[in-house]
């Protein structure tokens, strides 16, 4: 007997019939598509957001309009809430951003009405604005204190050869000495000088610039290294020795290092004729605990 299923015929001739294994192979269930295949076949729909968006930023809760988050197109927040990316929600349905939310309110206030944070929060808000790539807020913050002053300070430090390297050397020497002595603090000598060569009181009225010219042979007579641990200088700028000392202490303090300093004299090395070095020497005291 010949069995007809649809338009397919199964021959009664045993030679033409398929084996049971062949039949099972031909009629296997389709394999479950992989995630990649499913994504290719059925692309995910854009994520939809409500007009009023509840937010959970690192455990701190905020509520704002969707249009506020999208205020500036080239920001991370605008991209996150564009619908092109999936944003998880917490147990209460708030959209979760895994970031410290301490200064997120300042970010929202700028996006809402252009408000800037008070001075004591400017540096911290600037870091958050960098993370969220909010260019207009970064531009505004850079034009106010303390960031505007920091630009001027960095321009001055740019004139200082090996400034960052010298800071590292101060830290390394102080740490090594404290560990060797098993002490809370360590002291080291630091020379800070502005002029490349000494200027006597008799020469000052004759030179209006910060540097003056000497012959190569004369210059070599004034070349020497003071007997100190670290030496800063020379530089050409109106900012003086005390300004550089302030920068050194500020940058060490920013790294959590407690530092005191005092002038303990000058370098008395004799150079030539009536010339002595006279570069000021400072004692730096680094306290570790």
Beta pairing, strands 258-266 & 270-272: unpaired
**What are the structural domains of the chain?**
52-144 (3.30.710.10), 158-201+224-287 (no CATH)
CA 203 to chain centre: 46
- Give me the helices (H) in 29-162, please: 35-41, 66-69, 76-80, 104-113, 122-131, 135-142, 147-157
Query: Is the whole model's pTM more than 0.75, yes or no?
Result: no
Proportion of the chain in helix, strand, coil states, percent, rounded to 5: 35, 20, 45
Q: What is the pLDDT of residue 278?
A: 82
Q: What is the pLDDT of residue 234?
A: 86
Name the pLDDT band for 267 (thresholds 50, 70, 90).
confident
Residue 218 confidence (pLDDT) above 60: no
pLDDT mean across residues, the chain:
81
Residue 155 confidence (pLDDT) above 90: yes
Instruction: Give CA separation, 92 vs 54, 60, 83, 131, 276, in Å.
Output: 9, 13, 20, 26, 75
Range name among 28-32, 83-87, 202-206, 235-239 with the lowest pLDDT average? 202-206
Residue 28 confidence (pLDDT) above 80: no
Pairwise CA distance, residues 254 & 248, whole Å: 10
Q: What is the pLDDT of residue 277?
A: 80
Backbone angles phi, psi at 113, to 5 degrees: -140, 10
Name the pLDDT band for 136 (thresholds 50, 70, 90).
very high
- Kindly give the interhelix angle for 241-254 and 163-181, rounded to the nearest 10 degrees: 60
Residue 284 confidence (pLDDT) above 60: yes
């Amino acid at each position: 007997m010949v069995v007809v299923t649809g338009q397919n015929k199964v021959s009664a001739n045993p030679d033409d019939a398929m084996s049971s294994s062949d039949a099972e192979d031909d009629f296997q269930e389709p394999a479950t598509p992989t995630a990649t295949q499913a994504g290719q076949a059925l692309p995910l729909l854009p994520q939809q957001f409500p007009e009023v968006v509840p937010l959970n930023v690192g455990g701190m809760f905020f509520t704002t309009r969707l249009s506020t988050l999208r205020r500036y197109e080239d920001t991370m927040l605008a991209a996150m809430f564009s619908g092109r990316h999936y944003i998880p929600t917490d147990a209460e349905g708030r959209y979760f951003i895994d970031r410290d939310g301490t200064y997120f309110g300042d970010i929202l206030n700028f996006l809402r009405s252009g408000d800037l944070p008070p001075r004591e929060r400017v540096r911290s808000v600037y870091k958050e604005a960098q993370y969220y790539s909010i260019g207009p807020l970064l531009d505004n913050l850079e034009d106010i204190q303390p960031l505007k002053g920091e630009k001027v300070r960095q321009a001055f430090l740019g004139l200082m050869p090996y400034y960052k390297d010298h800071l590292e050397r101060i830290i390394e020497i102080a740490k090594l000495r404290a560990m060797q002595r098993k002490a809370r603090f360590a002291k080291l000598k630091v020379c800070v000088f502005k002029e490349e060569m000494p200027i006597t009181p008799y020469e000052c009225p004759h030179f209006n610039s910060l540097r003056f010219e000497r012959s190569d042979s004369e210059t070599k007579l004034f070349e020497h290294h003071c007997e100190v641990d670290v030496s800063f200088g020379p530089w050409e700028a109106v900012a003086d020795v005390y300004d550089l000392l302030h920068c050194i202490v500020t940058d060490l303090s920013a790294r959590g290092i407690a530092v005191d300093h005092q002038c303990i004299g000058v370098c008395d090395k004799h150079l030539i004729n009536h010339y002595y070095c006279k570069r000021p020497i400072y004692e730096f005291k680094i306290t570790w605990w």
